[in-house]
Amino acid sequence: MNYYIIIPAHNEEKFISRTLESLVNQSVLPSKVIVVNDNSTDNTGKIALEFAKKYPFMTVITTTSEAIHLPGSKVIQAFHKGLETLGEDYDFIVKADADLIFPKNYFETIIKHFKSDESVGMVGGFAYIEKNDDWILENLTDKDHIRGAFKAYRKKCFQDIGGLKPAMGWDTVDELLCKFYNWKVLTDESLKVKHLKPTGANYNKTARYKQGEAFYTLGYGFFITAIASVKLAMMKKKPLLFLDYMKGFWKAKSEKKSLLVTIEQAQFIRNYRWKKMKAKIFK
C-alpha cells in the first residue's frame, strides 16, 4: 500500500530530526513525506531540508500562519498546505506531529490492519511520554481513540469525512464522522509511539476556553459537554479546567458559532455519546 505522511512543524528543532529519522528507518517506507515548516523561527526548516536532500520521497514546504498556537486550527491549516501539494496516488494518508519517534514496524503494522479488514477507516497506536527515565502511556483519552499526533486514514474514509476540519475538535469529529459513515476506528496497543513533548505544553488559557467551544461545535449539547468536561479535567488532574471548558461552551453558544457537523450528524453524535456512556455505567 502506498502511503503519504504530512507533518506540520512549528519550532520543532529539538525533536524533528528524531521524528524524521524514525520515518526513514521504517520497515515499509512512505511514498511521500511532506514537512510543512509553519512560521518557524528556529532551525526546523533547515533540519528538514537536510533530510530532504538525502531522501527523494521527502519534501519541505514553507508557509506562514498566525504566530499564536491555538490547538486545531493552526496545525490543520498547515496540514492542508501540505495536502495541496500531493496527488491522490495513495492508499492511506497520515497526519503526524514533528515530536514523535515511531517504532520501526509502525506503518508495516498499519498496512496489515488496513489490508485485513476493508471496513477499517482509521488506525493508530498509543502515545508514550518519558517520566522518571521510563516511557509511560500518555493517558489523556479512551483507548478506542486515536491521538491527533498520529492519524492514519484510508483514502475513501478520508474523502467521506471531508478531510480534516481546521478547528479544535478536529481529532474527535473525524472519528465520529468515521462511525457516521460506517467506518471502523482501530487502535493497536502494540504500537508504542514516543511523544517527546507532552500534549498541550504550549496552550494558554484562550486555548482552554477553545476546548469548551469545540464541545459545542461538535454538537454535544449541554449535558454531554458537562460530562465530557468533568472527565477531561480529571484526566488532566486539573479539576478547575472544568470551569474553563464550560465557559468556552456558553460563549460559543451565545455567539451561535457554526457547528463542524450537519444537524443529522450532530444528532448521530449525541446518540452515540449517550450510548457509550450508558454502556460504561451498566457494564
Give the per-residue SS3 of the chain.
CCEEEEEEECCCCCCHHHHHHHHHCCCCCCCEEEEEEECCCCCHHHHHHHHHHHCCCEEEEEECCCCCCCCCHHHHHHHHHHHHCCCCCCCEEEEECCCEECCCCHHHHHHHHHHHCCCEEEEEEEEEEEECCEEEECCCCCCCCCCCCEEEEEHHHHHHCCCCCCCCCHHHHHHHHHHHCCCEEEEEEEEEEEECCCCCCCCCHHHHHHHHHHHHHCCCHHHHHHHHHHHHHHHCCCCCHHHHHHHHHHHHHHCCCCCCCCHHHHHHHHHHHHHHHHHHHCC
pTM: 0.90
Per-residue model confidence (pLDDT) at position 249 = 95
What are 147-179's pLDDT values in tens digits? 999 999 999 999 999 999 988 889 999 999 999
State residue 69's pLDDT score: 52
Mean pLDDT of the chain: 92
pLDDT of residue 70: 57
**CA gap 96, 129 in Å, rounded:** 16
For residue 230, pLDDT beyond 60 = yes
Here the cell at position 15 is: 525533536
Percent of the chain with pLDDT over 70: 93
pLDDT at 153: 98
Instruction: Identify which has the larger pLDDT, 272 or 67.
Output: 272
134 confidence band (pLDDT: 50, 70, 90): very high
**Contact by Cβ (8 Å): 157, 176:** no
The pLDDT score that the predictor gives to residue 101 is: 98
Q: What percentage of residues in the chain have a pLDDT greater than 90? A: 78
